[in-house]
Copies of this chain bind each other. A is one copy, B any other.
Amino acid sequence: MPRRKQPTSHDVAALAGVSVATVSYVMNGRTDRRIPVETRDKVLDAARRLSYAPNRSARSLRRRRTEQVCLVVGSIGVPAYDQLARDIHARADEAGYGVVTIVVDSRARAEKAIDLLQQRIADGAVIAPDVGYLTESDLTGLARSGLPLVVMSNTATPDGFDVVRAPETAACAAAFDHLFGTGRRRVAFLSHLHEFEAADTHPSERLAAYFDALERHGVVRDDGIIVPGANDRVTAYQRVAELLARPDRPDAIFAASGRGAISAIWAARDAQLAVPDDVAVVGAGNLPESLITRPTLSTVGPSAADDFTEVARLLFERISAGVPAEGRVISDPWSFHPRGST
């Protein structure tokens, strides 16, 4: 495939009448090498005329770094991931780094992702999906190979990589206690799909807190009101509408996502049910929208608005440190934010 040949530093050197070394020095604007303005201009001019751009692969090979970071997420279109992506992009931009995104939503893709990281597609990575596709040994393996890594997980133990936690259990427990404590008896759980499928084998933190609370309050579990649908707004709306249309409709709904909870509020209102009088709603996460719904949405979530600048900072710190620091762990526990919907 005869793609038009890109100009190389040789071409520039030839056109400028200097050596490739000089071209390299000029292009990298190195100050430790005194280069007369005249030569510099000759080079820059030649580069411009050829519209020369140094080849990234060659540079990476030589410099032994790619100047890219990798962001591994579980899916596209999740508000929290979006914020993470924004914060990583911002930090990467400052550092002159690019961001390559990998979506891991199956074991196969997880293996592919690990392989790519092993191949040093990036100088460091943030691993966000907290579903089981990436095992702890995958992570330690990567870290041992010298890749700077920041992992967002409530279960992983730092081992050559940093861990950022957001423990949910206490906040969820508080939310459920509040619901049961104020007399709710049929609390439905609107779950993510993967969460639903693994409900009995590896229950998520939220789901485990739910089961715990049921026991604590002597309420018998009814699998009929544990429904998947939190992944997207439309499905959530439909599932909740169905739940609320039943004769034995729930008197409260805990949604595993903020989007799900907001859909639940609409569904309730559209069904002429009062929130929270007829049905209470709690959502997990920290959507700004929580404050503009009627009533405002009670949530379990981080203490402040989503902010992953710290994650980005840790990553770039590790990258520039060069020498793998001890694994650190930072933790920002969730809390229960009671608002209008409970």
Contacts and interface: CB of A to CB of B under 8 A. Distances in A.
Nearest to A5: B146
A98 B60 CA distance: 17
Interface in A309-328: 321-324
Contacts of A98: 100, 102, 116, 121
Interface stretch (A176-184, A213-221, A288-296): A288-296
A233 B287 CA distance: 10
Interface string A91-132: 001000011111100000100100110111100000000000
Contacts of A61: 55, 57-58, 61
A93 B116 CA distance: 12
A264 interface: no
Interface in A60-93: 60-61, 64, 66, 68, 76-77, 79, 82, 85-86, 89, 93
- Counted per complex, copies of this chain come to 2
B56 A120 contact: yes
Given A1-B323, A4-B145, A145-B6, A120 B86 contact: no
A270 interface: yes
Q: Range of interface residues on chain A?
A: 35 or more
Interface string A29-67: 000000000000000000000010111111111001010
B238 A292 contact: yes
Contacts of A4: 144-146
Contacts of A3: 64, 146, 322-324
Contacts of A101: 85, 99-101
A2 B121 contact: no
Contact of A270 (B294, B321, B323): B294
Contacts of A109: 93
Interface in A217-242: 232-234, 237-238
A141 interface: yes
Given A116-B98, A141-B51, A233 B76 contact: no
A145 B50 CA distance: 10
Interface string A175-197: 00000000000000000000000
A317 to B, nearest CB: 13
Contact of A2 (B51, B99, B292, B322): B322
Q: Which of A115, A145, A293 has the most CB of B within 10 A?
A: A145
Given A6-B146, A58-B61, A234-B291, 19 more contacts: A1-B321, A1-B322, A2-B322, A2-B323, A3-B146, A3-B322, A3-B323, A4-B145, A53-B115, A53-B118, A55-B61, A56-B116, A57-B120, A59-B119, A61-B61, A76-B85, A77-B82, A100-B100, A233-B289
11 contacts: A51-B118, A53-B118, A55-B61, A56-B116, A59-B119, A61-B61, A76-B86, A77-B86, A98-B116, A98-B121, A266-B293
Please provide the 4 A-B residue pairs with the shortest distance between their CB atoms, ordered closest to farther.
A1-B322, A53-B118, A57-B60, A4-B146
